[in-house]
Amino acid sequence: MLHIAAPGKVNLALWVGPVGADGMHPICSWMVTIDLCDDLALHRLPPGRLSRYAILWHQEALQRTEIDWSIKKDLAVRAHLALQSHVGRDLPIQMKLEKRIPVGGGMGGGSSNAAATLRGLNSLFDLGLSTADLAGIGSGIGSDVPFFIDGGSALVEGAGEKVTVQPTSSPIHLALFFPGVACHTGKVYEQFDQMTASANSPQQVYDMLESSLDPDVLFNDLGAAACCVAPVLNTHIEQIQALAERSVCVSGSGSTLFVVCDDMMHAEALVQAVHKDSGLLGIATSSIQEAPPLLVEGP
């Protein structure tokens, strides 16, 4: 049995270019994984057995929505099927996925689950695939999957397939807030395409990576589109900003909001203050430098 923590992420900076002929938007983003994780358990079954999957909310999950998607549309299950196709044989497993990361929150939970599945199966079945192999398989599942193979802090470009590790000297402390609404990525991009082109540039992301992190220079080109898709985000941003007295950012395509804090004590105090003021749920968290290790239990 393998136990794998599948971390969420935030986009400290996100530039999005106009849609290309391939229907994809080029991006340039500084992404970091955080210590809010889904839990994945994989058990290898004897040859010839049918794989079984269970997806549910972890008892610690703060924001739960109905798990109403087809099992074969789940990105962790799709990763399993894609890896079987890649190696040309069945890899029978029993999978249990317990989710803490909100769905439709812009934190890459599904992509992280897929990456954790690829890493876990590679170890469980002694497949000997390289990180690059896993990232290549993952790129066909979701644009964030290649980033999550290694995790940590990275510059992510193109359609998500170009990942350049950018280690940070110390953890980045964050206050995360969950507005209770989901932002469908496709709808956010549709809204983005109807808006004025971004005044930001990839160079701003490069510059941020080369300087000390300033909580007030973070940006997200999808933030305004997310706020159009889910207008309640505007209200929550104003509420949080009034207490934080610094910038409030949208992660990815939303709906998770975050503030970069000075330390964990600062993050915890802000989460408590916002909850007391508006009832908004949140957690204090920190960035992590790499994908969590695979933990083996039992035969």
Of 39, 42, 32, the C-alpha closest to 5 is 39
- Residue type at position 125: F
Q: Give me the count of residues in the chain.
A: 299
Q: Which residues pair with 55 in a beta bridge?
A: 97
Is 144 catalytic? The answer is yes
Q: Which residues pair with 56 in a beta bridge?
A: 98
Answer for the pair 253, 224: CB distance below 8 angstroms, yes or no: no
Q: Looking at 38, 74, 99, 144, which residue is catalytic?
A: 144
Tokens 């299950």 belong to residue: 77
Q: Looking at 9, 74, 99, 221, which residue is catalytic?
A: 9
CA distances (Å), origin 5, targets 16, 67, 178, 248 = 29, 20, 20, 27
Left if phi > 0, otherwise alpha if psi is -120 to 50, otherwise beta: which for 139? alpha
Known catalytic residues are 9, 144
